[in-house]
Structures are given as C-alpha cells and as structure tokens.
Structure 1
Amino acid sequence: MTENSRLKFKMEQLGLTQRELALAVNDHLRAAGEHDTVSERTVRTWLTGRSTWPRKAKRRALEGVFRCPVEELGFTPPPSNARPKEGPHVFRRTFISSSVGVAASPLIGSRRLTVGAPDVARLRERLDALTALDDQRGGHLELEEATLQGAREALELQKGSASQRIRLRLFSLAASYTTNAAWSCIDARQLDRAQVHLNEALRLAGMAQDSIAQVQVWNATAMLAHQRRDHGGAVAAAQAAQALGATRRDPMVASLAHARTALGHSNLRDGTAALRSLRYAESALLKAKPEPRPSWMQFYGVAELHALTAIVLDRLGEHPAAEAASYRALSALPQHFRRNRALATARLAFSQLHQGEVEQACATTEGVFSLMEGTPLPARMRSLLGDFYRDLLTLAPDASTARAWGDRYRSEWSTT
C-alpha cells in the first residue's frame, strides 16, 4: 500500500482539507443525480492508497473537482478493470459538458463551481500587473476601474465551492484590489471616491482576517488624510497600522507605519515626535530581512524612507538635510519606479527653493517633466508642482526665473 502523493499535492494546490474535499465531491455527486456520498474516511483511504480506483461516479466527481483525469490524481485501475485509453479530446469533451452544466446553473445549492489556489494565483498575478502599471504611470480612471473589476471577480468566486482558506484569500484579494482602486483615486486627486473605496476595503480586510491587508488600507488612509491636510487623521491612521499583527511580525511593515507617523507629526509641526518616529522607522528597516511580500509593499525600502525623510525634514525647516535625503532617495530608487522618482525630484526642488536656490530649484523640476514624458502627470503630482509654483512666487516674486518657469510649465502642470 503506497501513499497517494499526487492526490495530496493536488489538494494542497487547491487548499482543500479532507473534509472540504469530501464536501466538494458530494456536491458533484448530487449535481450528477447520484445518491452515494463520501466522507472524510473515504478521502483518507484515497490518500493512504487503500483505495486505488474509486467507483465510476466518484471518479467523475473527482475529475470535476480537480479538472483533470483521475489518473493524474494518482489513481490506477486494476488490470482487469482498466478503462480504454481516452484521447485528450474525450476528457475535454466530458469536462466541458460537466463544466457548462455547472456554470449555466446558479452558483447555489449543489451545483457550484470549485474554486481553488489556481484561481487565487490568477487574481494575484493581475493585481501585481496593475500595481506595476501604477508605479509607471500613476493613478488614473482606467486603473481604478480595472482594480474594482478584480475585486468584483474575487467576490464572485465566493459563490463557488471553496475551502475556508481559499475564501479568506479571496476576501484578502478583494480588499487589496479595492485599496489599489482607492490609491489610484488618491493619486488622481479624486479624494471622495477614494474614501468610499477605503471604507469597503477595510470591511473586506476584516472579513479576510488579514492584518497585512489592513495595513495596506491604513497606509492608504494616512495618505488620503495627508492629501486632505487632516494631519491628525494621518497620524491616527498610521498608528492604527502600527497596532496590527503584521506590523509586529515584519520590521519592514513596521518601518513603513513609523515613517507615515513621522510625516503626520511633521505636518503638525511636532518635531520631537516626528524625529522619534523616523528613528523608529530607520531602526525597524535595519532589522528587516528579504522575504516575499505583497506587490503593494515593493515600493517601500531604503529609497522610499529617504524620500519620506526628505519631506519630514523640509517640513521641520531642516532644508539642507532634506536636500541630502532627496539625493539619497534618488540614488537608491529603482528606475522602474518612474512616478516615485518624479515625486522625489519635485521634493528635491522644494528643499533647494527653501534654501533660496531659485535657479537650481527651477532647473531641478525639469527632471519631473522628463521622467513623466509620454504620459499625463497624475493629479497629485500636478498639485505638488502647483505648490512649488506658489512657493516660488512667494519667495522670489520678482525673479525672472520664476516668471520664466511659470510661462514654460504652466500648461503642463496645470492641465496635463
């Protein structure tokens, strides 16, 4: 008697326990009009190899659950009972007929599509691709719509037959997709829509029982509060992220939460608290180890901490130190983070302007437009450049450089 390792592997791929496999097989049996059922004990006989060739109805049910011939599940017919070899088209015809019958009926009762790890992986790959698009172009309406569609698909799959583990992953994905939609709105300065998405994302992250998804929501909430100049709310959101289990387990996540807290404190002009939070962020980042993390976390690391440090120091009036931090951020930022490089370049220009280096600051902003050439500037970036122009006119209202900058770039930063 040999253990059925193939069946065990397939179950692990779909995230099915023995009980959940029994329930899924029974669903297919009932859908086929069979009165027979299987139990956890039956599944154990398959896994241990005590049963090497279930009867025909159960074989068909197993094929419906795993979407492959039972031979690929490690089952072998006895020589006297070997079924004729079927070409791939035969199984495909049988499977498609079965699948259409299930898909055509409502996803309720006994006729439910089986959902597993491959479905989760497919949705995760799409989410990663959309995150990469955001890194390149920034937030825009098409990106928001694509992420919301991903969330809807994740929730639609909840109507299928799935293990509890898979259901939680689907809720987590729906939360991440929805948070990405909110982030796209924040970058596009559609702040009211962003709040609606964040409210839904927080609900979904709670249903997923996923603290890293909750950190993602609170991180975006802190960003939204920052855009609305609700600096107390930004601190509160960042501190909510600090209290979560993912933050306690992963120093990288903790570093991000402390950096967001530092930014909020600096906007409240609480220098002592801001610098303390920055020290916490730096200390936590030193403890972080390379490990797989969600794609939304890929933007954060040494470079992003330098970029956030530059903003904090500039807010606190430490303009030379802010300029140095911006240079460090730009030297460490990967090239594919185009939008973030443009933002860091704009922040460098701010620190130079606040030191009275008007011509140098104006020259630096040229890098923003060069980096984003070929795509519209995200509204958040346009707003930042608008702030730069206002500071420029305040600090050097009579400078010909300021007037020339306005004449050259006004159309680009205000309407692009």
Structure 2
Amino acid sequence: MASSTDTSAQPDRPLRPNTVFRQLRGRRSPAEFAALVRRAAREIGERVSCDARYVGRVEAGEIRCPNYAYERVFLHMFPGRTLTDLGFAPRSTVRGRGARPAAAAVAAAAAHEHPCDRDAPYGAHRPYPNDPLNHEESDVLRRAFMTGTGATVAAAATLGPLGIATDASAASRRAGTSEAAAVEEAVRRIRLLDDQHGADGLYRRAAEPLRAAYALLDAGATRQTTAERLHSGAGELAISVGWLAHDSGRFDDARSHYAEALATSRMTGDAALEAHAFCNTAFLARDAGRPREAVRAAQAAQRAARPLGSPRLMSLLALREAGGWAGLADRTGCEQALVRAQALFGRGVSDADPEWMSFYGEAELAGLEAQCWSTLGDWRRASRHARRATRLQDPHFSRNIALYTAELADDLARDGHPDEAATAGLRVLDLLAQVQSSRIQSMLAGTARVLLPHRRASGVAEFLDRHASLPRPRRG
C-alpha cells in the first residue's frame, strides 16, 4: 500500500481551483448540484455516485480531469462545451509516473477518478484493457463485484475491500492519503447503496471496511492532516454502518456504532461528527421507544452543530427533537420544534451543509413531519405530509420513496381510507423488489393488521394476499 511519503518520483502539483465549474454551479449547494449530476447521468444511462464532496474536490482542483463516465455526464449537462470549457485540464497534459502501486490506483477509483485522471500515463487515450492500472480490471475491484442473487446482494458485493488492506501486514504500515480516500469512498458507497436498496443485505458487508478503517487508525498516519481525515472518515463510516443496523432492526448494534462515532468525535474535537452522531442517536432512541433520550440527544446535537453555520443541519436536528416530543405525547413541544425546523429550512442551503445531508430536502422535511403527526395520532395531517413527501422525492432515493409511501399507507389506513391505503401499500410492495428494509416491512405489517377487517374494500384483499406471501426479511 502506497503511503503519502512515496512521492519522490514526482512532487505534488499545487492545486488550481476550478473557478469555471464553481460558476456553473451557481447558487446551488454542492449537494444540490450533485443531485443534478446524478439525474443527468440517469438520462444517458450512466451511473455515477456524485455527492457534495466530489463537487468540492472538482472545484478545489483536486480532480484535474474527470473519468470518462463523468465526462459524458458533464458534456450532456453542458452541450456544446468541451472539458477545457468546463475548467478541466486536457487529458493530454495529465501525465506522470508510468506506474503506481495498486493501492493508489484503487484510491483513485474510490475517489471517482480514472487512473489517467491524476498523473497516469494514458494521455488522451482510453485505458488499455490489459493495463494493470485499469480500474475496471484491477484485482481488488474485480473481487468487489462478486456474484450473488438479487439486486441488493449484488449491490452489497460492490462494497468489497475498497482499497483498505485488512491483512496482518497492514498493522505495520502507516496510512497515507490513498487509505484516507478509500475510507471516505466507503462512506459514499454505503450511502448510495442504502439510498437505492435499503439496509437489509448490506449491513454485514459494510462492517468489514469499518473494521479496516479502525485498524488504519491504530496503525497511525504519515501526516496530521491524514490522521484527521482518517478519524473523520472512520467516524462517518461508523455512523453509516450504524444506520444500516438501525434500519434493519439491529438497534443494539446501531447504538454501539453511534457511540463509537461519538467517542471518535470527542477524541478529535470534531463538532460536525459529534452533531451527526447525536443526530442519529436521537433518531434511534425515538424508534427504540426512548423518546426522552431522543429529545436530549437532539438538543445535544444542536449544541454541537450551532457553530457550524448550517441552517439546514439545525433544521434536521429540530425535527429529531420534534420526533422525541411526539413520542412523549407533548404536542406543544413537538409543534414548537416543527415551526423551528421549517423556519431554519426556509433559510436555504449553504456551503456549510454537511455532505451526508444530501438526502435532506423538502421531501424528507415532509416525511419527518408526517411521522411526528402520526405518532401524535393526527392521521389526517400525517397522511397529507406523507403524500407530499412521496411527490417531492428525487427518484434516486428509492428507499425513501418506499418509506414515505409506507408511511402514507399506514396513515390512510388509520384515518379510515382502506382503499387508498391498499393502493399505497401495493406501490410499496412493488418497490420491495429493489429495496430491502426491515423498518419498511415492519410498517407494512402494521398497516396490514389495520386493514384486516376491511378485506372487502377495493384493493385491500390483493394487498393483504401479496403482503402475506412476502418472504421474511433476511439479515445479511
């Protein structure tokens, strides 16, 4: 594994910010622009896991030339322009060492770059299929795409080793920037897979890179800045794995992972990581039936997040607090927190918004508010917000569409609209071919129990029969 000290062959170039790309982003936040990139990719049949961090790296000049998938997407988004028109360096100028250690090549792939994108020998040509640095052919990534059955199993296999060494010799090596990048990419990949497929089937595989990340922390890093990246990345990875445990019903495991992330944040004074850990802890406490703990954790998250300058983050944390108050049947406390969440959301996006918050838009705001009203027993208001959430959700977030629709089905059933509830429930069942989430299946089971006395209503019998034939969730 190459360390960051292995630079004798060629010194690092000073970064040149891509001001053109930044101007093209305009007033959109990095997360919003990343969502546009993903949408454009789907329009032309490409699959890219663009997020706010990738956009930031492009604008900072870290990615001098995008890989070919991103090139096609960018040229589709801005027809008539070339890569150089978008502020990138020509491929013919992006040259360097004739070879790099395999771990560095994996790190480049993990960071969404083609090996020719940074200091690689291909020049203006596409990669040679037999070249050992071709990221599509490298042994490490080939092992990541293991065979399996079902969309989620196949997706989970893509987690793979992620360029993080887990053998015994790793303990004797100090981590460099390539290892830190691989940890960060593990976080992105888990979030992307969860958005598309849900947590079931992903959790066990996601635990492997987490163990490797903490092994890297134990081994130490070559530079202080790399150590800080590793701590932050490992903490975010712990939260991501904790969320998979949470969403698949493993509450004790989730609590442990969130506590691990919180401890990491406290050791390094990372307020952003601390706020994220408390945010997820509040959500878990609400789902686990500990509403008072949910309120306390959400308030602690707000104290940690206040100096970060992100109204959207504070909005989400206010919603976490509202969920706790709803669980305590405190309607006044819940309404006050909801009003605060809406006001903060209305301030708009900012560059201070954390990367992990890319899911938080109008749809999530409506979905979380629906959950609060549902907990308080106001089914009509809950169903109104849940319906709004399903209409607003970006198609990229398949899991959230299933979640909001399941919430809608349950609220309609409890509000005395069995036919509409059955229609929504059938849509969720269709989505479960792609999304596997024990949480969503538990919600559907509750809806089915409410609808049992209404089998003669339109669509209810079909929903109940299909739900009864549903296989029990597999925990992978």
| TM value normalised by structure 2 | 0.61
- The superposition leaves residues 155-198 of structure 1 with CA deviations (integer Å, 9 ceiling, x where unpaired) of 41552443323212211111111111111111110112222222
Query: Per-residue deviation at 1:389?
Result: 2.0
**1:408 pairs with 2:466:** yes
Q: Distance in 1 between matches of 2:413 and 2:286?
A: 22
| Partner in structure 2 of residue 289 of structure 1 | 349
Q: Distance in 2 between matches of 1:136 and 1:316?
A: 30
C-alpha distance in 2 between matches for 1:239 and 1:276: 14
Residues 360 and 114 of structure 1, relative CA distance in 2, 3 Å threshold: closer
Higher helix content, 1 or 2: 1
Distance 1:296 1:144, change over 3 A: farther
Which amino acid in 2 is paired with 1:237? A
Equivalent residue, structure 2, for 1:392: 451
Q: 1:231 to 1:105 in 2, by over 3 A?
A: closer
Q: Distance between the aligned counterparts of 1:333 and 1:175, measured in 2?
A: 28
TM-aligned CA distance change 1:158 to 1:365, over 3 Å: same
Cα deviation for residue 204 of structure 1 reads 1.3
Q: 1:326 aligns with which of 386, 395, 420?
A: 386
Does the residue aligned with 2:5 lie in a helix, a strand or coil? helix
Tell me, in whole angstroms, the C-alpha distance in 2 between the residues paired with 1:153 and 1:174.
6
The 8 Å contact of residues 197 and 434 in structure 2, kept in 1 or not, is answered as: no
Change (3 A) 1:107 1:309: closer
Provide the C-alpha distance between the structure 2 equivalents of 1:72 and 1:357, rounded to a whole number of angstroms: 64
Conserved? CA contact 1:226–1:234, under 8 Å: yes
Larger Rg: 1
Other-structure match for 1:67? 7
Root-mean-square deviation (Å): 3.2
Answering whether residue 260 of structure 2 is matched by residue 200 of structure 1, we say yes
Pair 1:253-2:193 in alignment: no
Change (3 A) 1:358 1:155: same
Contact kept in structure 1, 2:258 and 2:277, CA below 8 Å = yes
Q: Is the 8 A contact 1:187 1:379 kept in 2?
A: yes
Distance 1:389 1:106 in 2: 50
How far apart are the structure 1 equivalents of 2:221 and 2:473?
49
Cα distance, 1:323 vs. partner?
2.1
Residue 115 of structure 1: which of 152, 176, 179 is its match? 176
Matches within 5 A, 1:208-247: 208-245=268-305
Question: Of 296, 299, 315, which residue of structure 1 is paired with 2:375?
Answer: 315
Decide whether aligned partners of structure 1 residues 155 and 246 sit closer, same or farther in structure 2, where only a CA change above 3 A counts: farther
What pairs up with 1:80-159 in 2 under 5 angstroms?
Answer: 113=174, 115-116=176-177, 118-153=178-213, 155-157=215-217, 159=219
Distance of 1:408 and 1:173 partners within structure 2: 42
Whether the aligned pair in 1 keeps the contact of 2:331 and 2:376 (CA below 8 Å) is yes
Residue of structure 2 in register with 1:53 after alignment: none
User: Residues 413, 317 of structure 1: CA spacing in aligned structure 2 closer, same or farther, 3 A cutoff?
Assistant: farther
Provide the rounded CA distance (Å) in 1 between the counterparts of 2:4 and 2:407: 57
Shift of 1:319: 2.7
Q: CA deviation at 1:354?
A: 2.3
Which amino acid in 2 is paired with 1:340? N
| Bigger mean CA deviation after superposition, 260-269 or 272-281 | 260-269
Structure 2, unmatched stretches of 5+, are: 15-95, 102-166
Contact 2:310 2:350 (8 Å CA) reproduced: no
Counterpart secondary structure, 2:415 = coil
Range with greater deviation from structure 2 (152-161 or 224-233): 152-161
Q: Which residue of 2 aligns with 1:379?
A: 438
Q: In the TM superposition, what whole-angstrom CA distance separates every residue of 1:262-312 from its partner, at most 9, and x where no partner exists?
A: 111112211111011001101111113243644431111221010011111
2:361 equivalent among 297, 301, 304: 301
Alignment partners' CA distance in 1, 2:207 and 2:306 = 24
- SS of 2:230's equivalent in the other structure is helix
1:191 is the counterpart of 2:131: no
Cα distance in structure 2, aligned partners of 1:334 and 1:229 = 30
8 Å contact from structure 2 (residues 200, 473) kept in 1? no
In structure 2, what residue type is equivalent to 1:382?
Q
Q: Distance in 1 between the 2:7 and 2:380 partners?
A: 63
Amino acid at match of 1:233: E
CA distance in 2, matches of 1:415, 1:289: 37
Count matched residues: 327
